[in-house]
Structure 1
Amino acid sequence: MTTTAPVTTTAEDPIARDDLPAPKDASRRLLGSLLRPHRARVALGAALLLSQQAAVQAVPLLVAYAIDRGVPALRDRDDTGPLIAVAVAYLVCALGAGGFQYVFIRVAARINQGILLELRGRIYRHAQALSLDFHDRYTSGRLISRATSDVQSLRELLNEGLQELLIVLVSVVYIGGLLFYLDPGLGGAALLSFVPLWLLVRGYRRRSAERFSRRSTAIAAVIVKFSETLNGIRPVQAFRRERTNDADFDALNRRHERINGDTLLEMARFVTLSRLVASAATAGIVLWGAQRVTSGDLELGALAAGALYVRRLYDPLDRFAMILNNYQSAVASLEKIAGLLHQRPGIPEPERPKPLPPARAGAPGREVVFEDVRFAYRTGGEVLPRFRLTLPAGEVTALVGATGAGKSTLAKLLARFYDPTEGRVLLDGTDLRDLSAAELRRAVVMVTQEAFLFSGTVAENIALGRPDATREEIEAAARAIGAHAFIAGLPEGYDTDVRKRGGRISAGQRQLVAFARVLLADPAVAILDEATSSLDIPGERAVQDAMETVLRGRTAVVIAHRLSTVEIADRVLVMEAGRVVEDGPPARLIGAPGRFATLHRTWRESLA
């Protein structure tokens, strides 16, 4: 297939670096938009969590009451009432904490699954809406990484870490308030001990954020390499690239392992240092409290409750490190997803679409005009210098020329896969930029050399452009193209699954299915990009017959290397360096001295 590829991106290209730019608060706004539909459930979850923690944190107060009030009442007055009340209250707290947590987990699960479902859907829909210019530079492997490993990082936080994080934060607030309620001195001491812990957390967050961002990029590189190798498995095996690929993949895999190891080592440092600080703080608070009990400044029950609270305050530190790991991983992933979703489609929908004028009676084709069009890729130099070109309605125009001459770029402008840098492309006088995507795709259809088929049945692939077509209409299109015989011979006929990329049928058969798809869609303009270049002679003849059926009466642009394809054209444009250097009917150009005559003579000699 003749293509005019974009200039290779450099290291400065953010898309090529997997570093998509986005506003600083893009990830926060993305998370807010994901949470917004679940506001009622979020409020209910918050109320349940507060209630659950209130029940849990009431237990040390019951211990203090039992020591300072219940035991003396039993000892001095043989009164069991206070201790019975404590036991009942303990049972109520236990049942309440369990019940609130059960309902909270169910509500949180509904929220989490809703967020993940919406996020995957957004990534998928947005990836389809982005222009070819973006996809040429941002590999499919990176997109897969965004929708899998990065969403997985967020899933781990939502399903496992977020509940723990909220419980830790709420318990710290509860415990701090209760410590001050029991004794301001204990509360102040516990609060003072949090200063070194806060400094540790702050440093850990800063260092781990950079490591998690690097880890996300490293795993994306692994996925890209894996995907690229499997997509190109034929040339890999044909050119014995297995060992080289193994070495490249091993280097990427080891890089990911090293970065992941650095992340775990950072967590180990945080856990060790935080345990030392917590142990020293707990021992100091208990010793100081014991001295106050002996001097009569503090009741024994208050010290016991305070010791329990201090232990509860520091117990989550190990879990907090894991939570911070999940949090930093999720933040890094969310930033990358936000960067992807922040990319705007290069081919935007018009704010006020215009309809195409009614088609001419008896002629499905429409006139195409390139009006002072110039085109340059975003990352490279000029590909098509300014030119004017008119393709009359119903005329079949062949584009020929060397690789890189600009043929495919011109076709992609007509299909509006790109917009001109300057000028307009008009369809019956209407700028393509003023047409809605739906109307444009009904009017203009492109068939590539690959004739891409999706997993599914033959009938589903033919009906791709008209999903509402009946089985009779599908079969009629296949018969008109000459594809019915081979389809009927498949194991399940039109219901045969063609499998990945249509691998169950031959290249020529895929092209016939693609032509049946075009015929059923009934566009005004058909673009055929190297439709026969990969076929043998019998396959080429069958496809050429199908081409004549498809193109009859339509405006068509045919890009061809094999000049046998040009024979069905009304007009030939010879392109060189983005310019049309010869223009005329095939017979006239063959008879005149020029580039097309030379090409045709060389082609005829190659057949001899």
Structure 2
Amino acid sequence: MADSDTTGLLPARDWRGDADESTEDSVSVNMALAKNSRTLLASLLRPYKKRALLAMLIILVDNAANVAGPLFVAYALDRGVGSAQLGNWGPLVIAAGGYIGAGALGAVTTYFFLTVSGKLSQDVLFDLRRRVFRHAQGLSISFHERYTSGRVISRLTSDIESIQALLETALNDALTAVLSVATIAVILVYLDVPLALVVLAGFVPLVYLTRWAGRQQRRGYRKTRTAIARVVVHFVESMGSIRAVQAFRREGRNNSILAEEDGAYSDANASAFRGMAGFSGAIRLVGNITTVIVLVFGSWRIVNGHIEIGVLAAYLLYLRRFYGPLDELAQVFNAYQSAAAALEKLSGVLNEEPAVREPQHPVVPSTRAGHVMFDDVTFGYGQVPVLPRFTLDVPPGQVVALVGATGAGKSTLAKLLARFYDPKSGAVSLDGVDLTSIADTDLRERVVMVTQEAYLFGGSLADNIRLGRPDASDEEVRAAASAVGLDEFTATLPDGLDTDVRKRGGRLSAGQRQLVAFARVFLASPSVVILDEATSSLDVPSERAVQRALETVLRGRTALIIAHRLSTVSIADRVLVMDQGRIVEDGTPDELVEQGGRFADLHEGWRESLV
């Protein structure tokens, strides 16, 4: 199972989040990761600035209502009780009414804030999911070959859920707590400066504790994002290959792997929770110690006539509200660290640039003849060369078969022609235009690739055929199905072309799925068709049906056929035998058989296999 990830513009090894933070390099990397996550969050919130400002305004009113309560209590004790003893109940009624009114206003503002912020968070998450999904679909094949589908799923599920937890609940708690602490701190100074100094002195150890807890949690949550991605990858791989798992009795081994990956996820969470637990416990300890000091020191100041008893009562009420939000901030801090680590991973995906880029000034080929040219092309995967100085001219309408041993470079040619990759040097052109200058939409209209496994999406048979041309009419879809010989099969289906093919086309055989793929090509009507081992997994009856369909589909079109079965090669106008990225034989099938050589040996072996 792959165990690599990526964070886009950052070095590939840094995605793990478990680098030694004592090194200068890892510190700079962590700073870059944090900057990326902040930039992503800011870009997500930017379209909703007005709604965010409205939420801030509501929370300011809500905070004012919440912190006003103890002031009314102090007023009642210092003014209301004394006035009531003298027969004047007005001040006490005012204090009671003010306290109730502040509570009612707080209830209303809380309702509106949660409504506004809830809608805001859902809109942000919706945009984020769409952005990641759209960007991932636009990335090159090279990205998806190294970044497994399970990791993409993890980015769109568990990472999004971490951000959702922050936006939906923690953000409300954080704003309320910060505003409460700031407002109460001002009120405490206003009520009595000496007592306020005692309270504020407790912040000194909290600053250091916050920095320690932040490092601990961020390190832990970076590991959790990586660990849960591995769990998802393993689950996706196991469920996607369930037939092989059960056929080879791999359930026990898979359980062991999951236990190991899940254990790493649990350990990473435990590490993050230890930071939260230490921070939360320290806040409560400092809060209790400060409360005791304020109670003793405040009582001494009352005895000596420096303050009134109502001020001390208000102080103690405010202290409860002062350290209570700080305790909530510990929980918010935990959610923030988890979301920040998730944002780092998501920003890593979004920072990925396609290896195959759209041209800035696209050129549309003047014809649709299908003239293909490989001009002095070199290509390799990493440092391993696959095509050293490769040149090939395929005239319009010619069907070319590529044969050779595994690793000879056949599939690489197909990927370059489909522009899944760009050559390191040289050029691949279509009808006289370099592929790098053709817009992707124009290229996909002209070049279509059919692979060994024809993938069918859940839905009707007609919708799967229409994949080749989404705007095709029902009559055109039926004509395409008939052209490749699917009409007899569709007649047996309960709803004909409207029949649901089920997940991955499970209702169809391998041969029928391949016929659907050819119907897509027929409907799309490209000028160039690439067949990569399109018949290698079929039985003989299915292969014959596909061969007949193939002749129909390729008629009048340029084609590149990669095949190990020489029955497919028989329809080719020209055969190229490849070895280590070079053409070692070139001619018609009959010419190469007569000349002797590698293709003749392959042909003889194929004939013997039919006996």
Instruction: Give the TM-score taking structure 1 as reference length.
Output: 0.95
CA displacement, residues 469-489 of structure 1 (integer Å, 9 cap, x when unaligned): 110000000001111110221
* 11 and 206 in structure 1: CA distance in 2 versus 1, 3 angstrom threshold: closer
Q: Which has the higher contact order (CA 8 A, sep 6+)?
A: 1
Measure how far apart 1:74 and its partner are: 1.8
Instruction: Give the TM-score taking structure 2 as reference length.
Output: 0.94
Aligned to 2:91: 82
SS of 2:202's equivalent?
A: helix
For residues 208-287 of structure 1, what are the structure 2 equivalents within 5 Å?
A: 208-287=217-296
- 1:343 is matched by which residue type in structure 2? E
Specify which of 486, 489, 492 is matched with residue 489 of structure 1.
492
Measure how far apart 1:19 and its partner are: 4.7
Partners in 1 of 2:13 and 2:197 — Cα distance?
53
Tell me if 1:48 matches 2:52: no
SS of 1:454's equivalent?
A: coil
Partners in 2 of 1:180 and 1:600 — Cα distance?
95
Contact map agreement 2:446 2:528 (CA 8 A) in 1: yes
- 1:567 is matched by which residue type in structure 2? S
Aligned to 2:506: 503
Measure how far apart 1:9 and its partner are: 9.6
For residues 454-465 of structure 1, what are the structure 2 equivalents within 5 Å?
A: 454-465=457-468
Tell me if 1:435 matches 2:438: yes
- 1:62 is matched by which residue type in structure 2? F
Partners in 2 of 1:93 and 1:560 — Cα distance?
79
- 1:547 is matched by which residue type in structure 2? L
Relative to structure 2, which stretch is displaced further, 482-491 or 139-148?
Answer: 482-491
- 1:163 is matched by which residue type in structure 2? N
Specify which of 508, 511, 515 is matched with residue 512 of structure 1.
515
Relative to structure 2, which stretch is displaced further, 225-234 or 45-54?
Answer: 225-234
Aligned to 1:529: 532
Aligned to 1:95: 104
SS of 2:72's equivalent?
A: helix
Aligned to 2:24: none
Aligned to 1:369: 373
CA displacement, residues 187-213 of structure 1 (integer Å, 9 cap, x when unaligned): 222111111122222211111110111
- 1:396 is matched by which residue type in structure 2? V
Relative to structure 2, which stretch is displaced further, 444-453 or 247-256?
Answer: 247-256
Aligned to 1:25: 35
Aligned to 2:26: none
Partners in 1 of 2:100 and 2:282 — Cα distance?
37
CA displacement, residues 111-144 of structure 1 (integer Å, 9 cap, x when unaligned): 1000110111111111111111111111111111
CA displacement, residues 90-128 of structure 1 (integer Å, 9 cap, x when unaligned): 222112111111111110011100011011111111111
Measure how far apart 1:88 and its partner are: 2.0
CA displacement, residues 220-275 of structure 1 (integer Å, 9 cap, x when unaligned): 11111111111112222222222222211121122222222333333223322322
- 2:377 is matched by which residue type in structure 1? V
Measure how far apart 1:24 and its partner are: 4.9
Measure how far apart 1:18 and its partner are: 4.9
Specify which of 578, 592, 596 is matched with residue 595 of structure 2.
592
- 1:88 is matched by which residue type in structure 2? G
Relative to structure 2, which stretch is displaced further, 565-574 or 314-323?
Answer: 314-323
Aligned to 1:292: 301
* 470 and 533 in structure 1: CA distance in 2 versus 1, 3 angstrom threshold: same
Measure how far apart 1:596 and its partner are: 0.6
- 2:513 is matched by which residue type in structure 1? R
Measure how far apart 1:186 and its partner are: 2.3
Partners in 2 of 1:17 and 1:558 — Cα distance?
41
Partners in 2 of 1:178 and 1:366 — Cα distance?
79
Relative to structure 2, which stretch is displaced further, 132-141 or 83-92?
Answer: 83-92
Measure how far apart 1:10 and its partner are: 8.5
- 1:139 is matched by which residue type in structure 2? T
* 24 and 161 in structure 1: CA distance in 2 versus 1, 3 angstrom threshold: closer
Partners in 2 of 1:10 and 1:117 — Cα distance?
27
SS of 1:49's equivalent?
A: helix
- Over the aligned positions, Cα root-mean-square deviation in angstroms equals 1.8
Partners in 2 of 1:428 and 1:373 — Cα distance?
17
SS of 1:315's equivalent?
A: helix
Aligned to 1:451: 454
Partners in 2 of 1:18 and 1:578 — Cα distance?
35
Contact map agreement 2:402 2:578 (CA 8 A) in 1: yes
Measure how far apart 1:154 and its partner are: 0.5
Measure how far apart 1:581 and its partner are: 0.9
Tell me the matched-pair count. 594
Unaligned runs of 5+ in 1: 1-7, 360-364
For residues 261-340 of structure 1, what are the structure 2 equivalents within 5 Å?
A: 261-340=270-349
Partners in 1 of 2:269 and 2:101 — Cα distance?
45
Partners in 1 of 2:586 and 2:3 — Cα distance?
34
Aligned to 1:403: 406
Unaligned runs of 5+ in 2: 18-28
- 2:65 is matched by which residue type in structure 1? A
Tell me if 1:562 matches 2:565: yes
Partners in 1 of 2:348 and 2:161 — Cα distance?
17
CA displacement, residues 145-195 of structure 1 (integer Å, 9 cap, x when unaligned): 111000000011111211111111110111001111112222222111111
SS of 1:276's equivalent?
A: helix
Specify which of 69, 72, 87 is matched with residue 82 of structure 2.
72
Measure how far apart 1:540 and its partner are: 0.2
Tell me if 1:181 matches 2:185: no
Measure how far apart 1:465 and its partner are: 2.1
Contact map agreement 1:9 1:137 (CA 8 A) in 2: no
Contact map agreement 2:401 2:561 (CA 8 A) in 1: yes
Partners in 2 of 1:133 and 1:477 — Cα distance?
32
SS of 1:575's equivalent?
A: strand
CA displacement, residues 355-397 of structure 1 (integer Å, 9 cap, x when unaligned): 11033xxxxx4101111111112x3411111111111000000
- 1:374 is matched by which residue type in structure 2? T
Tell me if 1:122 matches 2:131: yes
Partners in 1 of 2:440 and 2:404 — Cα distance?
30
Contact map agreement 1:19 1:336 (CA 8 A) in 2: no
SS of 1:417's equivalent?
A: coil
CA displacement, residues 297-356 of structure 1 (integer Å, 9 cap, x when unaligned): 112111111111111111234432221111110000110110111000111111111111
Aligned to 1:477: 480
- 1:170 is matched by which residue type in structure 2? L
